[in-house]
Amino acid sequence: MTKALIRIMRDENAAVEDAALRFKQAWRGQADADVVLTFSSPMQLFEVLSPKRWQLIETLQHIGAQSLRALARALGRDVKRVHEDVHLLMEWSLIIRDESGRFLVPYEVIHADFDLRAVA
């Protein structure tokens, strides 16, 4: 099963240490996910994964690889806006293009993992 993990880590040093640990685990074949996307804050997460972009990801997971126009029709949205969202999500590796140029989500599971804690 292909899996992506979404995390929020505010501490840059902890994020670097975590990346090094994940690299070692992947090297040994013990990785929990195919890709880990680390955001520095909830604000950054929600800027990238807005409700419309989340719906776009869910739609692609449900209907499979689509052309840009077909995806825009399935979402009931303007092609230009879907194009912008698709390309931003491609920068974050949440969407890819297949050999025929159609867009798809390469993960069966996308898991979000973060805590909300009171500031001490």
Measure the CA–CA gap between 120 and 108, rounded to whole angstroms. Answer: 38
Per DSSP bridges, beta strands 96-97 and 103-104 are antiparallel
Residue 79 vs residue 120, higher pLDDT: 79
Give residues with Cβ within 8 angstroms of 23, minimum separation 6: none
Residue 10 has pLDDT above 80, yes or no: no
Residue 10 inside a domain? The answer is yes
Q: How many other β-carbons are positioned within 10 Å of the β-carbon of residue 54?
A: 15
Taking only the tens place, the pLDDT of each residue in 93-109 is: 899 999 999 999 999 98
Residue 36 inside a domain? The answer is yes
Residue 68 inside a domain? The answer is yes
Percent of the chain with pLDDT over 70: 73
Residue 119 inside a domain? The answer is no
Q: What is the pLDDT of residue 8?
A: 79
Taking only the tens place, the pLDDT of each residue in 62-104 is: 999 999 999 999 999 999 999 999 999 999 989 999 999 999 9
What residue numbers bound the domain in which 18 lies? 3-113
Residue 118 inside a domain? The answer is no
Q: What is the pLDDT of residue 38?
A: 82
8 Å CB contact between 98 and 65: yes
Task: Please count the structural domains in the chain.
Answer: 1
Residue 8's domain is classified under what CATH number? 1.10.10.10
Residue 60 inside a domain? The answer is yes
Residue 7 inside a domain? The answer is yes
DSSP string, 37-83: EEESSHHHHHHHS-HHHHHHHHHHHHH-SB-HHHHHHHHT--HHHHH
Residue 56 inside a domain? The answer is yes
